[in-house]
Amino acid sequence: MDDELITAYAYSNLQRAILRNILADILSREADPARGLQEFYVDVKRDLQEMEFAPGDPDADKVRQEALLLAQRFFRDTETHLLKRGKLSKPGLLL
């Protein structure tokens, strides 16, 4: 793996960690963090399904599918983070 790819991958992981913590902090303040997490996931999933990815690009569907898979991983990771913090009593995110 070349240095630029390593840097891009590391930066991507940094962004994911920051976003997970921001989302977990916001959801922790809600009366029902599990419901908030579920609603936010549904909104993000719908946006990814409906948004236009590079018009005319033959790889647009592959990009959409990968984005949807990454969303699932991100939200599952956020749920685990909330469980570890004691903000959720049990897993229940529906993907």
Which residues are within 8 A (CB) of 26 and not within 5 positions of it... i.e. 6 or more apart?
36
pLDDT surpasses 80 at 1: no
The two structure tokens encoding residue 75: 């939200």
On whether residue 95 sits in a domain, the answer given is: no
Q: What residue numbers bound the domain in which 68 lies?
A: 3-85
On whether residue 64 sits in a domain, the answer given is: yes
pLDDT of residue 56: 83
On whether residue 17 sits in a domain, the answer given is: yes
pLDDT of residue 54: 78
On whether residue 91 sits in a domain, the answer given is: no
pLDDT digits (tens, 9 = 90+) for 14-62: 999 999 999 999 999 999 999 999 999 999 999 999 988 877 888 989 9
- The pTM of this model reads 0.88
On whether residue 92 sits in a domain, the answer given is: no
- C-alpha torsion sign, points 8, 14, 17, 22: negative
CA angle at residue 37 from 69 to 19, to 5 degrees?
Answer: 65
- The total domain count for the chain is 1
